[in-house]
């Protein structure tokens, strides 16, 4: 039944967005102007901070998600936030970053080298010795929150030891050192990332850890290129439990959706939930009776964290956006982005917006493009039209780089030994299939990241600090300021409040008159 309502809502939203009469455009502009004129700065201290990271969710992914959910004139929940800016995503050594260095910049306030976690740029990838030096190690927002007496935690659809959550608690010269099986010879005195999460500060003090990556915590021989395993025969989940018992802490360990929904919140200050051997399933493939959704995990996390009267810090990662983009599955990526917006809505319903700084952003872009001149209101996953060069159709979405399945070109040599290059016609394929590979211009092993700016959307205390084009590591410093500063001043000083109100009301009145004609 819910799916029927969703379809009806989308159809209604799309039909309204397809209006082209003069009054529609005037009303749309009037609404935006009134929102802008009523925007005020919240200068309270941010008791709580929630950061959503859409991994690989560049501006084109956001645009496509908007169209997917409601059409060109639709707005996603976080697109209604009053403040936003752009973040420059380059790292200390690369024009185009990975998630490890970009997450380190976001959470620790310093740009570092690609593929390194929680350390500064003096640490090159693989330099175990240098990563052990205290002066090379960075302190994250989660650690800062814990030191301030707040609670802290994270939720991810990835392995909990993966590149985005890792910088919250770990210091590693290589993002791939998630378990001891992936540690090369000569690095025995450096801890793998899973051990750092369970044994070291701030990892062992995190109040919420929810995601995947069970193999990295258990004795196993299942290590492969995409999934870690332990060679030291240790069970780190048991070690986590022992640590909490030894310290007399109230904790819960859950492993499926039912357990997540039924754990005793009142008697849980520390929650560990690992729901898959590797990454969590894509939302469209998720077993709803076993594996929790991102929204499920967010709701559970906030229930635990908000028990602390001093407040909390929560990071939420929609990581499967990135995973799908890497494989050239644009529809899966956009569906994952849509699911992350649902989790944003859940969080918004559970917070006090007056004391919670709420941020939605991304760590980096992908090479997704929105092409051609498709009709307004058309299916974002459909055909844009025929090429004016060769007459062959092409899709609205494409990638500049991609894996073998995204390379739709072929070479043909005829009987006269003349060679031509052709391209598959997507109109003869099901471009709406979840696993359809959009065409890519350059063939790689998989789609690469993009180096473009990403948007940051913010509301709550000091959200106005995000207001133009910022360095990515600026986010840490703005959040720290928001958590430690407050003012009794309003957006307008008290002496000018009445005058400002009159000016605002007059402006709105004049706008109404102008937009009527």
- Annotated binding site for Mg(2+), which residues? 55, 162, 164, 317
**144 within 8 A of 480, measured Cβ to Cβ:** yes
Cα four-point dihedral sign 200, 205, 206, 212: positive
Say how far residue 198 (Cα) sits from the centre of its chain: 24
**In 288-371, alpha helices (H):** 294-305, 320-326, 330-349
**112 within 8 A of 91, measured Cβ to Cβ:** yes
Output the CA–CA distances (angstroms, integers) from residue 79 to 60, 204, 310, 355, 356, in the order listed: 14, 35, 29, 20, 17
| The two structure tokens encoding residue 281 | 């399933």
CA-to-CA distance for 136 and 115, rounded, in angstroms? Answer: 15
- Counting Cβ atoms within 10 Å, is residue 215 exposed (0-12), middle (13-18) or buried (19+)? buried
| The two structure tokens encoding residue 288 | 């709803």
CA-to-CA distance for 46 and 156, rounded, in angstroms? Answer: 23
Closest to 395 measured CA to CA, from 455, 456, 344, 437: 437
**85 within 8 A of 456, measured Cβ to Cβ:** yes
Q: What are phi and psi of 106, to 5 degrees?
A: -60, -45
Closest to 297 measured CA to CA, from 267, 321, 323, 274: 274
**211 within 8 A of 320, measured Cβ to Cβ:** no
- Binding site, annotated residues: 55, 162, 164, 317, 322, 326, 363-364, 449
Strands 368-370 and 469-471: unpaired
Closest to 87 measured CA to CA, from 476, 459, 355, 347: 476
Cα four-point dihedral sign 461, 48, 479, 101: negative
Strands 356-361 and 83-88: unpaired
Annotated catalytic residues are: 99
- For 115-176, the three-class secondary structure string (H helix, E strand, C coil) is CCECECCCCCCCCHHHHCCHHHECCCHHHHHHHCCCEEEEEEEEECCCCCCHHHCCCECCCC
Closest to 105 measured CA to CA, from 191, 163, 183, 161: 163
CA-to-CA distance for 365 and 400, rounded, in angstroms? Answer: 12
Residue reference for tokens 């009776």: 289
């Amino acid at each position: 039944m819910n799916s029927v309502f969703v379809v009806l809502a989308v159809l209604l939203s799309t039909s309204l967005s397809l209006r082209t009469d003069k009054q529609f455009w005037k009303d749309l502009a009037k609404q935006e102007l009134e929102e802008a004129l009523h925007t005020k700065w919240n200068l309270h201290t941010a008791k709580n901070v929630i950061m959503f990271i859409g991994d690989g969710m560049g501006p084109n992914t956001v645009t496509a998600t908007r169209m997917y959910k409601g059409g060109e004139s639709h707005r996603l929940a976080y697109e209604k936030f009053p403040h936003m800016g752009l973040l420059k995503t380059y790292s200390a050594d690369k024009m185009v970053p990975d998630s490890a260095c970009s997450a380190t910049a976001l959470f620790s306030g310093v740009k570092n080298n690609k593929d390194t976690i929680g350390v500064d740029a003096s640490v090159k990838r693989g330099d175990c010795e240098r990563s052990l030096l205290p002066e090379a190690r960075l302190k994250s927002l989660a650690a800062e929150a814990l030191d301030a007496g707040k609670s802290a935690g994270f939720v991810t659809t990835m392995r909990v030891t993966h590149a985005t959550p890792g910088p919250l608690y770990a210091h590693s010269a290589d993002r791939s050192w998630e378990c001891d099986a992936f540690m090369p010879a000569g690095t025995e005195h450096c801890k793998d990332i899973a051990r750092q999460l369970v044994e070291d500060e701030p990892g062992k003090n995190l109040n919420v850890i929810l995601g995947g990556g069970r193999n990295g915590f258990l004795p196993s021989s299942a290590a492969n290129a995409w999934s870690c395993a332990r060679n030291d025969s240790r069970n780190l989940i048991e070690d986590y439990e022992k640590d909490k018992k030894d310290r007399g802490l109230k904790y819960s360990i859950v492993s499926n959706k039912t357990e997540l929904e039924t754990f005793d919140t009142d008697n849980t200050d520390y929650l560990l939930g690992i729901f898959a051997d590797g990454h969590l399933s894509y939302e469209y493939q998720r077993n709803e009776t076993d594996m929790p959704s991102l929204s499920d995990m967010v709701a559970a996390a906030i229930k635990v964290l908000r028990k602390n009267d001093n407040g909390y810090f929560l990071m939420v990662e929609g990581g499967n956006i990135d995973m799908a983009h890497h494989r050239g599955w644009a529809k899966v990526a956009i569906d994952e982005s849509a699911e992350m917006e649902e989790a944003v809505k859940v969080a918004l319903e559970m917070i006090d917006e007056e004391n919670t700084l709420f941020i939605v952003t991304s760590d980096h872009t992908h090479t997704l493009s929105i092409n051609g001149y498709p009709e307004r209101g058309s299916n974002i996953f459909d055909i844009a039209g025929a090429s004016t060069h060769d007459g062959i159709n092409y899709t609205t979405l494409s990638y500049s780089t991609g894996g073998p399945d995204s390379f739709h070109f072929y070479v043909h040599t005829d009987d006269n030994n003349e060679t031509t290059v052709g391209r598959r016609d997507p109109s003869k394929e099901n471009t709406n299939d979840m696993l359809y590979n959009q065409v890519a211009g350059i063939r790689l092993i998989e789609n690469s990241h993009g180096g473009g700016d990403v948007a940051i959307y913010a509301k709550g205390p000091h959200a106005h600090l995000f207001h133009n084009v910022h360095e990515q590591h600026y986010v840490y410093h703005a959040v720290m300021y928001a958590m430690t500063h407050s003012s009794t001043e309003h957006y307008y000083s008290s002496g000018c409040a009445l005058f400002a109100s009159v000016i605002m009301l007059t402006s709105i009145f004049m706008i109404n008159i102008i937009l009527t004609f």
